[in-house]
Structure 1
């Protein structure tokens, strides 16, 4: 029996979050670092030109393309909860997913997974109806698409029940509550900026399956992909530091979905 090879781990970032003449983050530089790109689909950020540019860049770099779906909240960058009816939310997710996949295919790629953004990501940790709506849209479009989300979330549970592939995500640059959820933005410890600390945190998450919460307690994290936010100040340097630390720990960086 041959010995198992090095563990593979995915590194993802949110890309394409500019709009019109406004640019947010350095998509081109991050595409040289990450293995999966969560591409904004126009509801919280992004536009057709930006989506096309990022998809072309991702295909050229061999980076997996994911649809980062959101509430219809361009003004709030998708970070405000919207009490939208499940049927409407499912249609909105389907609209975003189909639009990005169409653009990705003209660039020689395709959407291979779906990840909610911002307030929707946090809502579907516990919100049964909205989690089900997201899953309904994904399964209806392509039952082979993976769903990326917070371990233990209702979203991943519903996706697994629907037969969709699921991938647990850990956040190298975000703070955790003792319950294993993300600290809301605006509260102390919500966003981490120091490269060495963020990189060390990523290695611990992958190697040990744990993270230190804001109160000092240790929480379990089931990691199939590590996220570094593209709009975090110094995002490119953070992502490079995380990748270098993961590789130094003997991990192979590779997309979780092709």
Structure 2
């Protein structure tokens, strides 16, 4: 039986400012990447998000990032690796405590935004994340881009690395995400996105921004929760996968 995990970034509201419809996303995804307060989210938002995920039978993952609320964690910060390790420990640990009070637990870690992009190739920051996860709980898988520095170092440290692909983001020919500054880097057509996700899972192929087919073999696929029409897109992706005989199931 073919299975795939669908994940989404959630818990990114802050105070009176709301982002996305997490409860609706939980009807389509099997894993929730919950913000940890450094790029988005506050304690009340995170607790409510974890409780909603638990009620929906959705796995909770920690979604730590650079300490950069002003830029939503989408700006690279040249943080000292030791400091970065400590900050990841802090974020994951905080979410573990909040998840416990909400009747669930943290079952994996997925670095957010600029940090997630940096650790594809930035050796020091990749190692800092690995060191943090290993220090907190070495059984926690790390969800990240395939063929990346972080997954290589996770495996070397005895951690489980889980490769993911992105439903609504365009790729370059080298298998990396196209920068958001490029036209067409973020996809908005739900039918197009659903079709390309089914192809990822059934054929192991994706067409890049410049028209080249590359190989992909994800264990999880991310549908962003903060893009316009995200709920409709996630629902369409799930239905298309199920119509193709694919079962949506968490990787943990």
Per the normalisation by structure 2, the TM-score is 0.99
**Other-structure match for 1:204:** 199
* Corresponding position: 1:192 with 2:187: yes
* In 1, Cα distance between equivalents of 2:78 and 2:164: 25
* In 1, Cα distance between equivalents of 2:251 and 2:101: 22
Number of residue pairs aligned between Structure 1 and Structure 2: 252
Deviations 1:52-104 (A, max 9, x none): 00000111111000001100000000000000010000011010000001110
Find 1:35's aligned residue among 23, 30, 34: 30
**Other-structure match for 2:237:** 242
1:154-173 maps to which residues of 2 (within 5 A)? 154-173=149-168
Deviations 1:130-174 (A, max 9, x none): 000000000110010010000001011111111111111010100
Deviations 1:172-213 (A, max 9, x none): 100000000000112112100001100001011111111100
1:1-258 maps to which residues of 2 (within 5 A)? 6-257=1-252
CA deviation after TM superposition for structure 1 residue 221, in Å: 1.3
* In 2, Cα distance between equivalents of 1:44 and 1:116: 11
* In 1, Cα distance between equivalents of 2:216 and 2:184: 18
Gaps of at least 5 residues in structure 2 are none
* In 2, Cα distance between equivalents of 1:106 and 1:255: 22
Secondary structure class of the residue paired with 2:224:
coil
Secondary structure class of the residue paired with 1:75:
helix
Gaps of at least 5 residues in structure 1 are 1-5
CA deviation after TM superposition for structure 1 residue 220, in Å: 1.4
Secondary structure class of the residue paired with 2:70:
coil
Per the normalisation by structure 1, the TM-score is 0.97
Tell me which stretches of 4 or more aligned residues in structure 1 moved more than 2 Å.
Answer: none
* In 2, Cα distance between equivalents of 1:80 and 1:221: 27
Secondary structure class of the residue paired with 1:170:
strand
CA deviation after TM superposition for structure 1 residue 226, in Å: 0.7
Secondary structure class of the residue paired with 1:179:
coil
CA deviation after TM superposition for structure 1 residue 106, in Å: 1.1
* In 1, Cα distance between equivalents of 2:56 and 2:243: 22
